[in-house]
Amino acid sequence: MIRGVPAREEGGKIVNWYNLGTDITERKQAEEASRRAEKESRTVVTEGDFVILHGRFSDFGLPVNWIVADIVRMKDGILVEHWDVIQDEATRESSKSGLPMFGDKFGVKR
């Protein structure tokens, strides 16, 4: 991203331009990873007082994706219990069945 700011003399005439360049590549990559993670983590199950959110986190710098389940118990609208279950996603090669742990296909291995 490049921004330019004019330097003006007292009468308002532009006498110079100052330009500033900023590399926003990492920010854009983080935004894309966040959008992908949001799409991947859409499974929600409710049963009585329990809510389970299940998803995949990918492109966060580790060699394999994470499969995550958040399990919460609510009582009268108040959170009374919370558990996190996090594990590395099995690769196709390490899965005995050859089936993915999440969704209908394996995530991209980074």
Q: Is the whole-model pTM more than 0.85? A: no
Tens digit of each residue's pLDDT (9 = 90 or more) over 22-67: 777 777 777 776 676 665 556 788 888 988 888 887 777 777 888 8
Question: Is residue 89 within 8 Å of residue 40, measured between CB atoms?
Answer: no
Tens digit of each residue's pLDDT (9 = 90 or more) over 70-91: 899 988 888 899 999 988 888 7
Q: Which fold has domain 41-110?
A: Nuclear Transport Factor 2; Chain: A, (3.10.450)
pLDDT at 110: 45
What sign does the dihedral 88-93-98-104 (CA atoms) show? Answer: positive
Domain with CATH 3.10.450 in the chain: 41-110
Tell me the three state secondary structure of residue 93.
coil
Question: Is residue 50 within 8 Å of residue 30, measured between CB atoms?
Answer: no
